[in-house]
Amino acid sequence: MSKDSGDRDTLHQGKHLHLHSRKGWEFVVRPNAKGVVAVLAVTDDRFVVLTEQFRPPVGRKVIELPAGLAGDLPTQEDEPLVTAAKRELLEETGYEAKNWTRLTEGPSSAGLTSEVITFFHATGLTRIGDGGGVRGEDIKVHFIPIADVKNWCEKRERDGVLTDFKIYAALYLARSLTQLTEARLWY
């Protein structure tokens, strides 16, 4: 165990994660990223763009928003969050978006990690690539009518696929903050 520059002890340093302790509380830090971005991408005909991929920590496939790390690429440590969101949307889904709105930010799991996620709403989508991810990622892209997202996710859950809660949070925020006119998104 070693002391780092702050008031925390370093318990372990892996390639992508560091385990620290502060006043007896253990938590994880991503040393090579300045943040996490998640994108609620909605097509002009009101389909939500979702991704599906196997996630080793939970041992199952997970339905998610297009998302990823900001500032994790060499020479891009100061990458703006919206730039990372644009990059992740393109890499994972093959889409660019004309319009970007920052919805909010907050901790992903404040008792476990220092990670903060910034949500973006992307519209005016144009497909310019294949998507599917990079470097060994195997990402499947889904287009779900906005009014059917909850039912579709519940069906996938019955098939053993997990749904990332950030999907519902982003839909709620977009509905509240950008006035999506759908009367009922999932209830």
pLDDT value at residue 137: 77
Please report whether residue 186 resides in a domain.
no
How many structural domains does the chain have?
2
Helix (H, G, I), strand (E, B) or coil at 173: helix
pLDDT value at residue 5: 52
Please report whether residue 140 resides in a domain.
yes
pLDDT at 113 over 90: no
| The amino acid at 76 | Q
pLDDT in tens, 145-167: 999 999 999 999 999 999 999 99
In this structure, the answer to whether residues 23 and 1 fall within a common structural domain is yes
Write the CATH number for 81.
3.90.79.10
Choice among 26, 105, 115, 137 that is catalytic: 137
Examine the residue annotation and report whether 137 is marked as an active-site residue of this protein. Answer: yes
What residue numbers bound the domain in which 7 lies?
A: 1-31
pLDDT at 182 over 70: no
In this structure, the answer to whether residues 43 and 25 fall within a common structural domain is no
Contact between residue 171 and residue 185 where contact means Cβ atoms under 8 Å apart: yes
SS3 sequence of 2-20: EECCCCCEEEEECCCCEEE
User: pTM of the entire structure?
Assistant: 0.86
